[in-house]
Structures are given as structure tokens and as C-alpha cells.
A and B are shown apart, each in its own frame.
Chain A
């Protein structure tokens, strides 16, 4: 995680306890924050250290003056809790749907394993929103695109609310000869819209332009093509499709 800039001026090594401290203090953002969340879910030592820091920093909050929230806050909390309890009491309906969703989320999390922990946690974190309150934004969609027979996969998560796509290409290595380019198959089933060249070994988060976002829905198809280094040259046809997948709601 460390870059030369990170260690400017003889800063200490940025080990896990340091990252836990940075997270606890609230300094992390973007992909570093997602990575820390992922590590928290999968690495007990890191989780312990994060809570250790939380526990030590907590007394500082005593210096923050208290404030009285509006009376509607408790009413809203009570209403949300009651709604969830009612949902849980209808196992055939919403309760079952939630349980199913949670099971699918767990399964996906299990399948994804450590490699894409950051993306999974980002997903879980965002996906659980709708469980808490049905009025919250739509659940993210995921696609797992298997690559060959070696068990390697490309994980794609699309978050409709923020129109961001997170592409996890951990475990993949560049071959130095080709790049792979990800495409969205248009709503017409024919046109290919580039989602960019895959960066092997990274988790990338990118903004999806509005005109493409409008075409992303349940079942939207993704294809991966093999291209010369740098991606499909302008004017040339796209290279051979080497893998495909479809987005589905978790």
C-alpha cells in the first residue's frame, strides 16, 4: 500500500496497526477506506487493532459538548425498528426475501474470498442499506466473470446510487503482450460500450457516464476482449471475446 510519497521525510513504516490507527482517526477515504473495511472483515488481528484504537480515542469525545436532537429522531428510530420487526415476523414475505438476500450475500462473499474482500465489503456495506430501510437507494449489482479454467475471475460491482463501478482484478497478472478491455453490451444487445482497460492486480473504482449508467440494469451483459496493449485502437474492430458475464442484484 505504501508509495514513495507515503514515506517521505522518514515517516515510520505503514504497517497494519498504523493503517488501523489512520482508519480509526477517520483519515482514510476512497479505495484505502474500502481496503481497510475488507481487511477488518477478514483479518482478526487488524480488526482487534482497529477496536484498540477506537477504544483509546473514544475518551477524546468527552470534550465534545452534548446536543439535544429533535424529538422526531426517536420516533423515526422506533418506526424503523418496528418496521423491521414486522418484516421479520412475515417469513414468507419480506423476511424471507431479506434472509435470502443475506444468504446470497454470504455466499458471494465466501466465493469471492480474500482476493476481492475490499469490493465485497464495499458491496455488503452498500447493499445492507436497503435492508435497513426499503426507501433507501437500489442495491448494487455484481458480476463475476470467470477467466479461463484456472479459477481466476474478474469481479465487477456496480453501485447505482453513486454510478460507480468497482472492478477487482486481483490475482491477475499482465502478460506484457495484451491488455484486456471490459465492455458493456448495450441495451440493444449489439453495441459495445467500453468500460476501460483492466488493470491487473488492482481494485479500481470508476465513475460511469450517465448515458452508460442508463443502460445498466439487472442482467446487463459484460464482455471482456483481448486487445493490443493500451486497449482497442481507434478505428479497429474489438478483439476476440475471452470472457463474459451479466450483472445481477445481490
Chain B
């Protein structure tokens, strides 16, 4: 990794890597350290997806309890623990959203939260800088409309049907747009891996 981040995030990453390795090795006390280091970031994610503080806090609880339960499945050799945790938290939040729908619309998506700016926040660079640059670069190569829909899906936890409704286009059209975008995204990311 060519990029040298500032000492702050670098220290945090090292501490997190160490805590995750301890957790994976069965040290339960490490869970609190992982929580201390990551709760703000992961709560930001569950709050964004669920749009409701109570739901987001419940999802956050599930994230850490499941993390503790499955700690032995975490591979400490993984490149970026925070990237893995971020995906884990977002997946749990989306599970909750979809389960809520199965329960008959108990959870409504509130759209009160504004979408973030395109640029990552400078103080949030816990995730690998090189990988961050690459996904943004590949997204930039998509047409603006497709990029926006993919971003809305990622940040808003929206389904195809919700995206289509918002854009006022038939479901099939939205699926085509996004699938074409995902196909191009995959080609771009794979090319970057091969390089």
C-alpha cells in the first residue's frame, strides 16, 4: 500500500487490528475495545440505513453480539478490519430493514437524513485509502444517473422497486440501468486488481 496515512488513523487501525485478532483468538475483553474504536463509525452506518435512532441502536447491538459469537470466523489476516466491520454493520442494518418489511412494514425508511457528499470525510479515513480511491474512480466512470442510483442503493438501503418509484421509471428499466452499471463497475474493479 503506497499511501501513508496520517499517524492518527494509522494508530487506530493498528489498535483495531490487534483487538480484532485478540477477539478472534477468544479474548472476550477485546470486544469492548473493538466497540470503543468502531462504534461511532458503525452507528453512523446503521443510522444512515435505518433512519431511526432506536432501530439503529438495536441493529448496532446485534452487530457486536454477533461479532462476539462469530469471532472465530474472522480472519485476522484480512486486509482491513474496519472495511469488514463496515460491511458487516451495513448488512445487518439492511437485514433489519428487509425483515421489517417481511413483518408488514414495521420499519419505515425515513428519508430525513441527507445523503453524504461525494468526497469521503477527511477524518473518516479508517478504510484503506487506495481501495477507497479505486472504487470512487470506477464509480466516476459510470454515467451520472447510474452512479446516483447505485449510491442511493448503497447509502439509502433502497430496493430496485423503491429506486424505480423514486425515479418514476418502470422497474425493468431501473434494473437494466443498475445491472449495466454493476457490470461495468465489476470490469473496472477487476482491471484494477489485475494491474
Q: Which residues of A contact B (CB under 8 A)?
A: 5-12, 14, 17-18, 21-22, 24-30, 33, 54-70, 72-74, 76-78, 80-81, 84-85, 132, 161-162, 164
Contact = CB atoms under 8 A, between A and B. Distances in A.
Interface string B35-50: 1000111011101110
Contact of A58 (B87, B98, B116): B87
Contacts of B180: 11-12
Contact of A61 (B127, B173, B183): B127
Contact of A57 (B121, B154, B173): B154
B60 interface: yes
B44 A66 contact: yes
A79 to B, nearest CB: 10
28 contacts: A7-B176, A17-B186, A21-B182, A22-B178, A24-B87, A25-B182, A26-B158, A26-B159, A27-B160, A29-B98, A33-B98, A54-B84, A55-B79, A56-B135, A62-B120, A62-B127, A63-B121, A63-B124, A64-B45, A64-B48, A67-B43, A68-B40, A68-B43, A69-B39, A70-B57, A77-B65, A78-B32, A164-B102
Interface of B is mostly: helix
Contact of B116 (A56, A59, A65, A72): A65
Contacts of A8: 170, 172-173, 175-176
B41 A66 contact: yes
Contacts of B8: none
A66 B94 contact: no
Given A9-B176, A55-B79, A56-B134, 15 more contacts: A8-B176, A10-B176, A12-B180, A12-B183, A26-B94, A27-B153, A27-B158, A58-B80, A58-B87, A66-B40, A67-B44, A73-B57, A81-B31, A132-B65, A161-B103
Contacts of B104: 162
A206 to B, nearest CB: 12
B8 to A, nearest CB: 14
A180 to B, nearest CB: 26
B40 A22 contact: no
Contacts, number: 184
Interface in B146-188: 150-151, 153-155, 157-161, 163, 170-173, 175-176, 178-180, 182-183, 185-186
A59 B117 contact: no
A61 B183 CA distance: 21
Contacts of A68: 39-40, 43
Contact of A67 (B40, B61, B101): B40
Nearest to B123: A66
B107 to A, nearest CB: 13
A74 B35 contact: yes
A5 B172 CA distance: 6
A74 B42 CA distance: 13
Contact of A81 (B49, B68, B157): B68
Nearest to B139: A60
B28 interface: yes
Nearest to B163: A27
Contacts of A63: 116-121, 124, 155
Contacts of B57: 69-70, 72-73
Contacts of B150: 25
Contacts of B49: 26
B154 A73 contact: no
Contacts of A12: 179-180, 183
